[in-house]
Amino acid sequence: MPRAEVGTPKYLANKMKSKGLQRLRWYCQVCEKQCRDENGFKCHAQSEAHLRQMLVVGENAGRHIADFSSQFQHDFVQLLSRRYNTKRVRANQVYQEFIQDKNHLHMNATRWVTLTEFAKHLGRSGIARVDETEKGWFIAWIDSSPKALAKQEASIKKDRATRDDEQRERTLIAEQIERAKLEKDGSDDGSASPPAGEGLKREEGAEKVVLSFSAKSAKPATTSDTTPTAAPTGLKLTAVKPGVNPLKASLLKRPNVFKSAAPVKSESLEGGGGNERKRPAPMSAAERLIMEEQERKRRRMDRESVA
């Protein structure tokens, strides 16, 4: 049965029916034709055009399958690198986006039967990092371009230099700590601290010190420890008359300290500050102007009186 011409109602109906994705097993990659059901695929397989294409493919089937496989891998990796770059993503998610294009190369024409085998092939080839989890197979594209390799090498050098600097700083800090410990140990050994628990001790045979509270400046007498009963000679003993209160007598005879010190202070002030009293106080600018004005008036009055 011939195909419907473009623009005819039959053509539009076929387009509407074939809208969206169809069954993969009813797709013929050799003829690039999608059938809607099993009967349509059976009729297509018995058609003359399909048999003629199969004869061409049958002459060198391995080469055609290798071409289809390489084309499928190229398109899949291109989508993975552009859409996700080096991000880790599920392989089935990438495949669902890949088959959204109706004219894509189907997997049934390649050497891989399932998506799992294709993911394992990408991992063995070093194209992507592949790992299996409970949620399925995950893949991550490995960027092997010269620019990316140069950037990765520069990053490795930077990290190595940073680690070297950190190691150098740690070594320097450790040396400083060790040097400080040695210096501290040496200072502790050199400066011996006095033993604890030792206080002030009195030497044996030392003389007793006697203080005199008398008004006269007498030298304090000292006595040895061998004559403890002797009275100190520095103290002045005066006889007290009977019927006189000794406290009142001492108060009356005590000289006034302030009266005796006042003349000395005044003399010192007169002797040292005589020049300061003769020195005139500095005048301000206003006072100087007033004085000059008064002097001019006085001169003017003198001239008038002479005239």
Q: What is the pLDDT of residues 211-269, one digit of tens each?
A: 767 665 544 444 444 444 444 444 455 555 555 565 555 555 555 655 555 454 444 44
DSSP assigned state of 26: G
| Whole-number Å distance between alpha carbons of 130 and 119 | 7
DSSP summary character for residue 163: H
**Which percentage of the chain shows pLDDT scores above 90?**
8
* Residue listed under structure tokens 């601290």: 193
Q: What is the largest CA-CA distance in the chain?
A: 170
Dihedral, 40, 41, 46, 52 alpha carbons, nearest 10: 120
pTM of the model: 0.44
Higher pLDDT, 123 or 264: 123
pLDDT at 230: 45
pLDDT attached to residue 159 = 79
